[in-house]
Amino acid sequence: MPDDARSESPTFDMRTLAGSRWPVPEWHFETIAAELGCAESKERMMRVVTTIPQQRMPDFSGIDWDRALAAFGEIDYPRYYTQPFHSVPGGYLSEAAATQDRGAMEAIYQDAHPRRSLGLREALAALMPADAARVVDLGAGTGDTAAAIARRLPSARVIGIDASPFMVIAGRHQNAGISNLELRQGFAEHTGLEADSIDAVNITLVFHEMPDVVKERVLFECRRILRPGGRLVLSDTPHDDLHDYRGFYEPYKEQWLVWDELTTLGEAGFVGMERRDVAPPLWSVVCQKPG
């Protein structure tokens, strides 16, 4: 490892993040080590890592994780999902990723909004139709965007779907008490929802962590579940952003660098594409399923 990279790398052992509740393959540690050993600057990563403890984070000490996870049973995950995202062993299939999710997001966006990442989520929630009765948030993570939508639209039923039971458990805990919000386990490309049944779909900070072929499947599913004229709001990070966050492993950053959202949305059959950058540095595209 180059001397400058070694001096910037975290001093803690990433293996300590590997919980005992989900098997972590050895290649995860090898991949993480290679990313941490790259020659590029890891200044942005270190800024996040060192400021996470300064964020206001939920208390998860009361969760019985073994009991909560048992309710989900066995889940077969596709290969694209079983990656050590953000250099966390197990990726999203880990207690560490779930319990540190809000703190990490708050640290990343601490200078972007007076209310940090939660403020950005409120701005994104404003892109939902005011008269929507059923809204789905795909790749909901720990549910903070879904919660912001549910608070903004108290008469709507808001469903947050995420593939990781760890994220769903943490999300239910940190966003408890919102009566019109439901967080459930599922895949964005196979929601199990009825066709033409949803008024609006939200996808925030999800597509940069999917290969292009899965993005296409997700958009097909969005078009299937949306009612005619229903709205899709797609929001994500700038395409070159992942290359500046070295140290945080991002398996699909090369595809993300060249992906064209407007072309792909059009090919998926969506119309009326409009850029609505209400939460910079994130960008948003609002579009519709044809009526």
141-161 pLDDT, tens digit each = 999 999 999 999 999 999 999
Residue-wise pLDDT tens digits, 32-70 = 999 999 999 999 999 999 999 999 999 999 999 989 999
Residue-wise pLDDT tens digits, 73-122 = 888 899 999 999 999 999 999 999 999 999 999 999 999 999 999 999 99
Residue-wise pLDDT tens digits, 189-217 = 999 999 999 999 999 999 999 999 999 99
Q: Compute CA distances 151 → 25, 277, 278, whole Å.
A: 39, 21, 18
232 close to 226: Cβ distance less than 8 angstroms: yes
Share of the chain above pLDDT 70, in %: 93
d(CA 182, CA 165): 14
* Residue 14 or 289, more confident: 289
Q: What is the pLDDT of residue 2?
A: 37
Mean pLDDT score across all residues of the chain:
93
* Residue 20 or 221, more confident: 221
Q: What is the pLDDT of residue 253?
A: 97
d(CA 90, CA 109): 24
Assess whether the previous peptide bond of 23 is cis (omega < 30° from 0). no
CATH domain 116-288 topology? Rossmann fold (3.40.50)
**Domain segments of the chain: what residues?**
3-108, 116-288
Q: What is the pLDDT of residue 76?
A: 87
Q: What amino acid is encoded at 257 in this protein?
A: L
Residues in the chain: 291
Residue-wise pLDDT tens digits, 1-17 = 333 333 343 434 545 55
Q: What is the mean pLDDT of residues 249-272?
A: 98
Largest CA distance in the chain: 59
285 close to 275: Cβ distance less than 8 angstroms: yes
Q: What is the pLDDT of residue 17?
A: 54
